[in-house]
Amino acid sequence: MAGVNRGPDAGDGSADVGTDGSAGVAVDAVGKTYDGAGAPVRALDDVSFGVEPGEFVCVVGPSGCGKTTLFRIIAGLTDATDGEIRVAGAPVTGPTTDMGVVFQEYHLFPWLTVEENVGFGLERSDRSAAERERRVDEMLDLVGLTEFRDSYPKSLSGGMKQRVAIARSLAVDPELLLMDEPFGAVDAQTREMLQRELLDVWASTGKTVLFVTHDVAEAVTLADRIVVMAAEPGRVAEIVDVDVSRPRERGDPAFGEHVARVRKLIGAGP
Amino acid sequence: MATDTGREFDGSGLQTGLGLDDPRRLLRGAAGLVGFVALWYLLSLTQPAIVLPSPVAVAAEFRGQFVSGTMPDALASSIRHWVPGTIAGTGLGVGAGVAFAWSGLLDDVTAPLVRVLRPVPPLALIGFAIAWFGLNHAGAAFIIAIGGFWINFYATYGAVEEVSEDLIDVGRTLGVRGDLDMIRSVVLPASLPGILTGIRTGLGRCWMLVIAAEIFSVPGVGREILRASNNLRVDRAIAYIFVLSLMYLVVDVAFRAVQRRVLAWQA
C-alpha cells in the first residue's frame, strides 16, 4: 500500500541543497489569479509541496488544474499572485540557468544545428571554448545524437527533437530539471523509450526532476512522489509516494494499484 | 499595425521565381515569352511606330543607345543613387521595424505618426528631396530610400511580431539577458525569413522608384524613359524600360541565391 502525505508539506527550502549540484524546491502557498473578462479566474490556490534534492517528482492533474501555470511560475516565466517558490533556498524571481526547462513542443531554435542548439546556453556561461565543446559532446553522447550534430531540427523526428531539448537544458548543468509534458507530443513507443532514457539520465546525473504530465501511468513509471492536483481552483489534492522498485513494469500489481489510486484521486475513474 | 502590410507581399517565397531548375517550367516560360513577342510584332504591324513600335525597332534602338554610350551612362548614373538609396532605406526600415516591434513603448509613441506618414507616396516628397539634398544623386537616393524604408519597416515589424513567445521563453531559461542579447540571438534569426522577403520586395520597388527619383532631371534610366516619352520616342522608352527590368532581374536572382544560402535551415 502506498504511503500518502497530505499536503502542504513544503520544506523551508533552506537546507534543500544536494551534494551533487542538485537543488530542492519549495512551493509555498502559491496562488495565481488571472483577470479574466468579467470575473477574475483563480487558476491556482494555496499550492504547497516540497521536492528533495535529487528527487523525481511528477505533478499530475486533469486539464484545467493549472499544472502548466504552476510549471511556468516555478520556471520564473510567470509571476505568482501569492506565495513563493524557492529553489535551493533562494526565492525564484525570474528564469535562471539553475533550472533546465523542457517544454512539450520542444521549441528548438530552427536556425541552429543540433550541436548549436545544445551549446546555446553554454555560450553565455564563463566556460572556455574547449570546455563548451566538450560539454556539448558529452550531452550529445548522453542523448545518443552525436551523429546528428550537424542536422537542423527540421529534419529530426519528434523524439529526437525532445532529446535535443533535454540535452540543451542539461548542458548548462542546472540543479533542477523542469519538464512540462515533455513526451506529450510523441507516439506511445517513443514515449516509453524517452521515459527510460530520462530515468537513465536522472540516475547518471542525480538532478532533481519536476515533471508535469496528465498521463497517470507516466507519472507512476517515473516518479518518487506524485503531486496530484485538482481543478477549479487548481490545488493539491494529495501527494502520493510511489513505493514501487525500479525498473517498474506496467504488469506489476503494485504499479496498477498506484495508477488506480491516482486516477481515483483526479476523478478519472479506475 | 502588422496587418497593414496588406498586399505588398504576394507571398513570393523561395518557391516562386524563374524556375531555372525545372526544365519543363523553363520551356513553358520561354514559350510564353516568344508568344508575347510574336503577338507584339503582329500588333505593331497594324499601328504607327509612335503608338506601338515593333520589337525589331526596339531592339535596334536598344543597341543604338547601348553602343553610343548613352545607355551605359544612364545606368551608371541610376546605380549611383539606387545603391545608396536602397541601402539606406533597407537598413533604416529593418532597424526601425525591429525596434518598434520589440519595444511596446516605442510602438505606442510612434503608431499615430507612422499612420500619418505611411500613405505619403515617395513622389510627393520631391520638394523635400530638392530642398534638403538638391538636384543630385543624394536627392534621388532620398526618394528611393523612402520607398525602400516602408516596405522593409512593415515586413520586419510583422516578422518580429510573429516570433514565437515560446522561443523567447526558452532563450530566457538558457540565460539570455537583456533586450540586445535577446534580439541578436533569438529575435533576429527567428524573423530573418520575413525580413529577407521584405528586403527582396524592397529591392524591386526601389528599381521602380528610379523613375520617380529622376523626375526632377537627375540623369539616369528613369530620366531617359521620361525624356523619350516626352519626345514620343516610344521605342526608346521601351528600350530603357527593359534596362530597368533587366536590372531588377539580375538583382533579384542574386538576392534569391543569397536568401537560399542564409536560410538553408528551412530547406
B166–A95: do the CB atoms touch at under 8 Å? no
User: Count of A–B CB contacts within 8 Å?
Assistant: 64
| pLDDT confidence of residue B19 | 55
**A103: which chain B residues are within 8 Å (Cβ-Cβ)?**
166, 169-170
- Domain span holding position A163: 109-173
Task: State the average pLDDT over residues B133-145.
Answer: 90
Q: For A120, which residue in chain B has the nearest alpha carbon?
A: B174
| pLDDT tier, A17 (very low <50, low <70, confident <90, very high otherwise) | low
Q: Is the pLDDT of residue B15 over 70?
A: no
| pLDDT confidence of residue B131 | 86
How many independent structural domains does chain A possess? 2
Q: For A110, which residue in chain B has the nearest alpha carbon?
A: B265
| pLDDT confidence of residue B21 | 67
A258 found inside a domain: yes
Q: Is the pLDDT of residue B9 over 90?
A: no
Lowest mean pLDDT among A101-110, B11-20, B47-56, B63-72: B11-20
B189-221 residues labelled b (16+ CB within 10 A) or e (exposed): bbbbbbbbbbbbbbbbbbbebbbbbbebebbbb
Q: Are A143 and A217 in a shared domain?
A: no
| pLDDT tier, B190 (very low <50, low <70, confident <90, very high otherwise) | very high
**A95: which chain B residues are within 8 Å (Cβ-Cβ)?**
169, 172-173
**Distance, in angstroms, between B188 CA and closest chain A CA?**
11
What would the pLDDT profile of B154-180 be if each residue is shown by its tens digit?
999 999 999 999 999 999 999 998 899
Of B174, B190, B264, the CB nearest to A120: B174
Beta partners for A238? A228
- Whole-number mean pLDDT of chain A? 86
The C-alpha atoms of residue A169 and residue A179 are separated, in whole angstroms, by 10
| pLDDT confidence of residue B145 | 94
Q: Which stretch, B6-10, B117-121, B256-260, has highest mean pLDDT?
A: B256-260
The C-alpha atoms of residue A133 and residue A253 are separated, in whole angstroms, by 46
Q: Which of A173, A193, A211 is the last residue of a domain?
A: A173
Optimal mutation site among B14, B165, B168, B174, interface A, most CBs of chain A within 10 A: B174
Which positions ≥6 away from A261 have C-beta within 8 Å?
A2, A240
Q: Which of A150, A173, A196 is the last residue of a domain?
A: A173
Q: Are A10 and A92 in a shared domain?
A: yes
Q: Are A129 and A180 in a shared domain?
A: no
For cell 522498485, what's the residue? A245
Task: State the average pLDDT over residues B125-144.
Answer: 87
| pLDDT confidence of residue B257 | 93
Task: For strands A82-87 and A25-34, give the pairing.
Answer: antiparallel
| pLDDT confidence of residue B108 | 85
Structural contact between residues A152 and A113, judged by C-beta atoms closer than 8 angstroms: yes
**A100: which chain B residues are within 8 Å (Cβ-Cβ)?**
173
Which strands, in side-by-side order, build the sheet including A90-91? Answer: A41-51, A25-34, A82-87, A90-91
Tell me how many helices (H) and strands (E) chain B has: 11, 0
**B264: which chain A residues are within 8 Å (Cβ-Cβ)?**
152
| pLDDT confidence of residue A216 | 92
A104 found inside a domain: no
Residue A17 amino acid letter: V
Between A121 and A269, whose confidence is greater?
Answer: A121
For cell 560539454, what's the residue? A135
Residues of chain A with pLDDT > 90, as a percent, come to: 51
Q: Where are the domains of chain B?
A: 20-50, 53-266
Task: State the average pLDDT over residues B213-217.
Answer: 84
Distances B176 to A94, B116, B170, B248 between C-alpha atoms, Å: 12, 36, 9, 40
Q: Are A131 and A227 in a shared domain?
A: no
Q: Are A59 and A180 in a shared domain?
A: yes
Task: Let me know if B31 is exposed, middle or buried by CB neighbors in 10 A (0-12, 13-18, 19+).
Answer: exposed
Q: Is the pLDDT of residue B4 over 70?
A: no
Tell which CATH classification among 3.40.47.10, 3.40.50.1400, 3.40.470.10, 1.10.3720.10 matches the domain B53-266.
Answer: 1.10.3720.10
| pLDDT tier, A133 (very low <50, low <70, confident <90, very high otherwise) | very high
Q: Are A53 and A181 in a shared domain?
A: yes
Beta partners for A179? A102, A211
Lowest mean pLDDT among A261-270, B92-101, B204-213, B252-261: A261-270
A270 found inside a domain: no
Q: Are A79 and A202 in a shared domain?
A: yes
Q: For A78, which residue in chain B has the nearest alpha carbon?
A: B169
We report the CATH number of the domain holding residue A47 as 3.40.50.300
**A172: which chain B residues are within 8 Å (Cβ-Cβ)?**
174-175
A162-188 residues labelled b (16+ CB within 10 A) or e (exposed): bbbbbbbbbbbbbbbbbbbbbbbbbee
List the 154-183 stretch of B: residues with Cβ below 8 A of A.
164, 166-167, 169-170, 172-177, 181
The C-alpha atoms of residue A214 and residue A227 are separated, in whole angstroms, by 11
Query: Is B265 in the A-facing interface, judged by CB distances under 8 Å?
Result: yes
HSE (side-chain half, CA atoms, 13 Å) at B252? 21
| pLDDT confidence of residue B85 | 95
| pLDDT tier, A185 (very low <50, low <70, confident <90, very high otherwise) | confident
| pLDDT confidence of residue B118 | 82
Q: Which of A157, A173, A189 is the last residue of a domain?
A: A173
Q: Are A153 and A181 in a shared domain?
A: no
Q: Is the pLDDT of residue B79 over 90?
A: yes
| pLDDT confidence of residue A231 | 84
Q: For A177, which residue in chain B has the nearest alpha carbon?
A: B173
Task: State the average pLDDT over residues A77-99.
Answer: 91
Lowest mean pLDDT among A12-26, A193-207, B5-19, B189-203: B5-19
| pLDDT confidence of residue A5 | 41
Q: Are A84 and A23 in a shared domain?
A: yes
Q: Are A89 and A183 in a shared domain?
A: yes
A103 found inside a domain: no
Q: By C-alpha distance, which of A152, A226, A162 is closest to A198?
A: A162
Q: Is the pLDDT of residue B5 over 50?
A: no
ipTM of the complex: 0.84
Supply φ then ψ for residue A19, to 5 degrees: -80, -20
Query: Is A103 in the B-facing interface, judged by CB distances under 8 Å?
Result: yes
Q: Are A115 and A65 in a shared domain?
A: no
Q: Is the pLDDT of residue A16 over 80?
A: no
Task: State the average pLDDT over residues B219-229.
Answer: 92
